[in-house]
Chains A and B, each alone.
Chain A
């Protein structure tokens, strides 16, 4: 029998640390990158000690972010392969957005939206790393032709845009579904939350508990 105090551990301290290190570095990389993307945001360079410092720091933020993201992605990759029930969920994406709760098919530890976003992030991060190295002055850019670098800056900006937009959705979704934020801050979610939003995962962990 469930009760209010019955909480489930969704993220271990190590997983939470890893997530937030990536999040902080993402913030630094995103703001320093946006500063150089549009002149209207050039004032953001003041946060990093001026234009030249922003240019110097940005690639280091990005490289370290990639490193920690890689660990995070490897940690969670197993939970993010799309299953058949995920496609059913995707078919009902409209009901998810509007909030027709009765019509939303059950999902596991992550829903298909989270899984798709996971893979979008993986590909964006890879693209950002490769193109970022190609335009990283003064260390690596000399090894690539100007034509390649022209393509690299465009792809870098494009994948950064997709990633930033994706993270905005990620942050909003965490706020939207009450109780989610707690999962990544304290590690715990309520058993009700698990059953309501991730019923197959809930069944899975309940099953495990029975065998203990």
Chain B
């Protein structure tokens, strides 16, 4: 992507080049029209040239069972009972592209995680050092680190396609039209229509999942039970960057650095004000003098002159 369009960059304390500002984009996943066909998983693998190792059936439809460096999106299937009926809630899991990304906040390597002005959060693997801090930073447990190259991977929102005016691969392929892509405003408007429709069909708690705890997300869900996101394979109710991560990557950084500076300066100031402690002997009695006092200075001067 063009380097003029960067909203935020990991481990960077000065302004990023953001002269050009792209419209905010979003992917809208309408859970109520998803049939769980996994075409999006296939399209993601195809476009990004990813090949998950053939695994095992773990007894449920989820396959592969979890996200990995080769599976940037997976369908998660939850069977729940709501209003006395069995409901099969299928959620396409993957990076939510937070407006306030915990991964980017936690990353120690400058430029390894970048947020473009259109809202896409992208990992730059060539700058990744493999520390795993992004995993600790993410409120949605999305990044996965490859066993092969120790780099972190996740959904790019097909930033390479979006850059040339294409919709992400999963959006392009979805046979029911459950995945939409456009400007964030358009996606919100479309979600309103879908929610109104769901409400008219008895889902009076239907709503949009665009959690404000992370500043909103650039991947949003239309949920039939927006009051209980956790029904959808543990989608967090109110995701936020963990307070320990906020503290560690927030005030602790500048305060810690300044604190060490104060200790060093304090030691230096002590030295120039009080000097060093030297031992003197007078009539067999041992004394300690400070070289910043007249007597101590005299002792030191004598010692130096003796040497030279």
Contacts and interface: CB of A to CB of B under 8 A. Distances in A.
A38 B263 contact: no
B278 A178 contact: yes
B259 to A, nearest CB: 7
Given A36-B108, A157-B252, A196-B288, A179 B279 contact: yes
Interface in B147-164: 147, 150
A16 interface: no
A6 B50 CA distance: 75
B256 A157 contact: yes
A154 B287 contact: no
Interface string B235-258: 000000010110110001110110
Contacts of B131: 36, 55, 137
Contact of A42 (B109, B270, B276, B286): B109
A190 B286 CA distance: 12
B288 to A, nearest CB: 4
A99 B188 CA distance: 70
B279 A193 contact: yes
A52 interface: yes
Contacts of A151: 244
Nearest to B275: A99
Nearest to A199: B286
A81 interface: no
Interface in B35-90: none
B242 A150 contact: yes
Interface of B: 11-13, 108-110, 127-133, 135-136, 141, 145, 147, 150, 242, 244-245, 247-248, 252-254, 256-257, 259-260, 263-264, 267, 270-271, 274, 276-279, 281, 284, 286-290, 292-293
B136 A168 contact: no
Interface of A: 1-2, 35-42, 45, 50-52, 54-56, 97-99, 101, 135, 137-138, 141, 146-147, 149-151, 153-154, 157-158, 161, 164-165, 168-169, 172, 175-179, 190, 192-193, 195-197
Nearest to B281: A192
Contact of A101 (B141, B245, B253, B287): B287
A4 to B, nearest CB: 8
B260 A101 contact: no
B286 to A, nearest CB: 5
Contacts of B136: 135, 146, 149-150, 153
A37 B133 CA distance: 11
A39 B145 contact: no
A98 B271 CA distance: 11
Contacts of B245: 150, 153-154
A178 B284 contact: no
B130 A137 contact: yes
Nearest to B300: A178
Contacts of B132: 135, 137, 141, 149
Contact of A39 (B13, B279, B287, B292): B13
5 contacts: A36-B129, A138-B147, A154-B248, A177-B276, A192-B281
B66 to A, nearest CB: 13
Given A137-B132, A154-B247, 8 more contacts: A39-B110, A42-B11, A56-B130, A98-B274, A138-B130, A146-B135, A157-B256, A161-B260
B286 A52 contact: no
Contacts of A138: 130, 145, 147, 150
